[in-house]
Amino acid sequence: MKARAAKLVLGFGILILLLLISGPLRAQVADAALSGTVTEASGAVVPNAKISVKNLNTGQSTATQTNSAGLYKLTNLSPGDYEVSISADGFAAKVAKVTLSAGTTVTTNAALDVAPAQPQAPSSNLPNAPSSSKTAPSIQDLGFPADQTQGNSKEQALLDKRTHMLKIHQRLGLITTIPLIATVVTSVGAGGRSTSNTDRTVHMILGAAASDLYLTTAYFAIRAPRVPGTKARGPIRVHKALAWIHGPGMILTPILGAMAYSQESKGQKVHGIAAAHGPVAIVTAGAFGAALLSVSLKF
């Protein structure tokens, strides 16, 4: 009797255990389904739309697509919460969340909106056509090849140095006019045997100062680097041509002046090539003044 009673108790316990675990097992049966229709906002069906469902509890995803009638259906889904993503070419994607229960089919329809148009790149078969954008046209749009629009750092450095040195040349040239004019003015009292040594000395000092400044001015013009391919035009050509007159004159004038000063200091009359000091000085000063005017006046 005791053995029979023990078997009955064991059998009853096994039955109770089966009943307890059968509920959760039935809850895990993948018998839920999801279906629906995908259309445009106008109501027309959207074939081949992509449907993706993700189980938010397990992270598993399942995908399908609509048929020619815009219908889709996913079966054998486990009950739970899902995220449904619906997309199609030319339409904005939509995302929805649904909850599936065991043994049920949930219908989720979607009306897709047309995606906004994307800006198109300008046509490549018209390289010189103006850009379709509202910005200013580029150099390439105007027809200049890229190799002609690239800067040359070496040439730019030469141009910057040349510009700097020529500015100094110009300023020193203007400063040189001060002792040069003073030299011309004092030359009136420095000539002749009746003039004093003081007048001649003042004239000589002013002339030497003018020559020194002139040589310094000329240095910056001569040493300014040349940029390949550049040509002198208009006033600059006149300015350079006059330099061939006042340049040698600025060298010859003080030499002739020193000779004349020596002769007059000895009580002699200025003679020989020293007598050309005055005319050479006048021509030199005139050419120098004309050179200054050539770059000051527009013609």
Whole-number Å distance between alpha carbons of 89 and 112: 10
**pLDDT, position 191:** 66
Residue bearing tokens 């004092």: 186
**pLDDT, position 66:** 94
Residue 236, helix vs strand vs coil: helix
The answer to whether 54 touches 86, Cβ cutoff 8 Å, is no
Whole-number Å distance between alpha carbons of 139 and 277: 59
State residue 50 phi and psi, 5-degree precision. -90, 130
Please tell me what DSSP assigns to residue 25: H
End-to-end Cα spacing for the chain: 140
**pLDDT, position 222:** 87
**pLDDT, position 65:** 92
Taking Cα atoms as reference points, which of 110, 59, 120, 53 lies closest to residue 84? 53
**How many Cα atoms are found within 13 Å in the side-chain-facing hemisphere of 128?**
4
Residue 250: Cβ within 10 Å count: 26
Mind listing the pLDDT tens digit for each residue in 69-81? 999 999 888 888 9
**pLDDT, position 123:** 53
Mind listing the pLDDT tens digit for each residue in 82-91? 999 999 988 9
**pLDDT, position 24:** 46
**pLDDT, position 19:** 47
Predicted TM-score (pTM) of this structure: 0.46
What is the token pair recorded at 130?
A: 């103006």
Residues lower than pLDDT 50 in the chain: 1-2, 6, 8-10, 12-28
